[in-house]
Amino acid sequence: MKSLASFILRGPAQAILVTVLTGVLALALPPLSLISGAAIALITVRKGPQAGAIIMVASTAFVAAMAWLSLGNGLVGLVFLGVLWLPLWGLGWVLRETRSLGFTTLVAGLIGILGVLIAYWWIGDISSWWEGILQSIFKPVLDAGGTVEPESLKRAIVNLSKIMTGVAASGLVLNALLCLYLARGWQAQLFNPDGFRSEFHGLRLGSAAALTGVVLAVLSFLPLGSLSHVAVEMMIVVMSLFVLQGLAVVHAIVAIKKMHIAWLIVMYLVIMFILPQLMVAIALLGLMDTWLDFRRRVERKNQGESGSSGGYQ
């Protein structure tokens, strides 16, 4: 990864090549979108918003031209721009100016919340809209029958449609933040090897964000009609941010206690393949850490002292 980051920073042609190639290949292999977005963020964080904008616009033009020549429609380039590259350019700019991973993470969450509000304003009955999309996705399963009871699946679709806006928004926010964190990690590998590690281990979103999550949770349980529905969707976005703080707590404790990296590997394997509901517990861990500061408690018990990471490189 360090060699890839070095290649991206070598010049505009190299950055555009990586951004476009991994972006197009992501249509078949979605994880490659992380590299495409991270390339834009890396250029922006390291060389400034103007340099990042040049790579972003050029990459959009290349993808649009390729799509027009092969599919007769260049809108694919605009989709990449709006969904992936433009948010990463903006977040990279914020991180460059503030040098705060926590603040930039909050900005990403705010964008997700605004997306939820715009979706409700623009579409109106958004639950019905999502229900129609989900029904079309699961139609082959409903038609096939088999072990899945149609009525149970229909009820699940109705329930899922009520939170899909928040799920989609949090998914986009987390994807953008993973790209940004990857870019910051690349930058640190090249110029300050311990920089990102110390920043992520110390990630804190603050009491205002935590209180916002609590207030939204309370509103979601009150019989307030559409306001409660919107509160649920926004709460999903906020809690997705605290998943990151919770993961930061786990990583920091493993480092403080000098535990084997296998503990982290097992945790991620369990989340991905066995018990994805563990994400809720991790989000609650991050939320409670706002007031209980688990990392400091463990550090005190371990009689360790954290040092500064030096300049932002």
**pLDDT tier at 218 (50, 70, 90 boundaries)?**
very high
pLDDT for residue 277: 85
- pLDDT tens string 291-305: 999 999 998 888 655
Does residue 144 have a pLDDT over 80?
no
- DSSP secondary structure string, the chain? -HHHHHHHTT-HHHHHHHHHHHHHHTTTSTTHHHHHHHHHHHHHHHH-HHHHHHHHHHHHHHHHHHHHHHHS-THHHHHHIIIIIHHHHHHHHHHHHH--HHHHHHHHHHHHHHHHHHHHHHHSSHHHHHHHHHHHHHHHHHHH-TTS-HHHHHHHHHHHHTTHHHHHHHHHHHHHHHHHHHHHHHHHHHH-TTHHHHHHHT----HHHHHHHHHHHHHHHSS-THHHHHHHHHHHHHHHHHHHHHHHHHHHHHHHTT--THHHHHHHHIIIII-TTHHHHHHHHHHHHHHH-HHHHHHHHTT--PPP--S--
- Intra-chain end-to-end CA distance of the chain, in Å: 17
**pLDDT tier at 235 (50, 70, 90 boundaries)?**
very high
Report the distance separating Cα 32 and Cα 311, nearest Å: 30
Does residue 244 have a pLDDT over 70?
yes
pLDDT for residue 241: 97
Does residue 237 have a pLDDT over 50?
yes
Q: pTM for the complete prediction?
A: 0.90
Report the distance separating Cα 78 and Cα 309, nearest Å: 39
* CB 287, CB 212: distance < 8 Å: no
pLDDT exceeding 70 applies to what percent of the chain? 94
pLDDT for residue 142: 65
Q: Which two tokens stand for residue 111?
A: 């964008």
Residue 101 CB contacts under 8 Å (≥ 6 apart), including other chains: 95, 181, 184, 199, 200, 203
Q: Which two tokens stand for residue 192?
A: 């300050």
